[in-house]
Amino acid sequence: MVRKSVVSAISNGGYLQGDAHGHLPTMGSKEPLEQERVVLKKKITLLRGISIIIGTIIGAGIFISPKGVLQNTGSVGMSLIVWTVCGILSLFGALSYAELGTCIKKSGGHYTYILEVFGPLPAFVRVWVELLIIRPAATAVISLAFGRYILEPFFIQCEIPELAIKLITAVGITTVMVLNSMSVSWSARIQIFLTFCKLTAILIIIVPGIMQLIKGQTEHFRNAFSGNDASIMGLPLAFYYGMYAYAGWFYLNFVTEEVENPEK
């Protein structure tokens, strides 16, 4: 009877799956032939999802970009306009990705959406460009900034050796890779902790600045649009610096399938 079942399944292009004890179903069995699916575990809660977005937006960019924006605009007023426009554009992008993340509940971010809309070839090209050019370059910038900031307290009186920065950068990248490979939960907990650290660092910058404004130190805003002459050719670079500082609002869509409730 079992032999007839096997022959019938093969001839029909199917397969047989045994029960928990390894027994194959017979011809007269009513048990369905089920195939187990491999799915991602939903380990990312609301707090973890928020920390991923905040943690990726608040990074090296906000500490590197302000100088570039101010240099390429030439005045405080113009730099504030650039920051505002970049923030509005990033908000529109974030809202668009929030809609995509709830409509197409698949992990992968850019790759998944291009695959669904334009097909496999553009998606394939996009993912390889991301893998070989975009992601390594962005990771290198962020990691090198991390290495420099970590070593600055130890080299106050002298220049930081480039080799030391590169070694700390390599250790940081390796540590992050190992943590993400070991456990999603642990990497999420560390992300939450680092997010609070980043918010604290931002508040240390913002609060004293607001206090100085309250005290009346507004001399830089009296003639906000007067300053160094900056050519219009510098504005695209200023916008690039600004958008780089806001970047990161799309990263949660890369792990949509691991989010407990994407709509929330």
Q: For residue 3, what pLDDT band results from cuts at 50, 70 and 90?
A: very low
Question: Over 70: is that where the pLDDT of 213 sits?
Answer: yes
pLDDT for position 11: 43
Q: Model confidence over 6-27: pLDDT tens digits? A: 444 434 444 444 444 444 444 5
Of 19-28, 56-65, 138-147, 217-226, highest mean pLDDT: 138-147
DSSP secondary structure code for residue 255 in this structure: G
Share of the chain above pLDDT 70, in %: 83
pLDDT mean over 213-228: 79
Q: For residue 95, what pLDDT band results from cuts at 50, 70 and 90?
A: very high
Q: For residue 230, what pLDDT band results from cuts at 50, 70 and 90?
A: low
Question: Over 90: is that where the pLDDT of 87 sits?
Answer: yes
pLDDT for position 120: 92
Of 90-99, 172-181, 248-257, highest mean pLDDT: 90-99
pTM of the model: 0.68
- Pick 228 or 14 by higher pLDDT: 228
Question: Over 70: is that where the pLDDT of 231 sits?
Answer: no
pLDDT for position 229: 62
- Pick 114 or 34 by higher pLDDT: 114
Range 148-151 contact pairs with CB under 8 angstroms and sequence separation of 24 or more = 149/63
Question: Over 70: is that where the pLDDT of 86 sits?
Answer: yes
pLDDT for position 54: 84
pLDDT for position 20: 46
- Taking the C-alpha atoms of residue 194 and residue 135, their distance in angstroms, rounded to an integer, is 21
Q: Model confidence over 134-152: pLDDT tens digits? A: 888 888 888 888 888 889 8
pLDDT for position 228: 62
Q: 147: left (phi > 0), else alpha (psi -120 to 50), else beta?
A: alpha
- Taking the C-alpha atoms of residue 86 and residue 247, their distance in angstroms, rounded to an integer, is 10
Phi (first) and psi of residue 259, to 5 degrees: -85, 135
Question: Over 70: is that where the pLDDT of 244 sits?
Answer: yes
Q: In terms of C-beta density within 10 A (0-12 exposed, 13-18 middle, 19 or more buried), how is residue 165 classed? A: buried
Q: Answer for the pair 257, 101: CB distance below 8 angstroms, yes or no.
A: no
If we measure between CA atoms, which residue out of 187, 199, 176 comes closest to residue 55? 199
pLDDT for position 93: 92
pLDDT mean over 54-73: 83
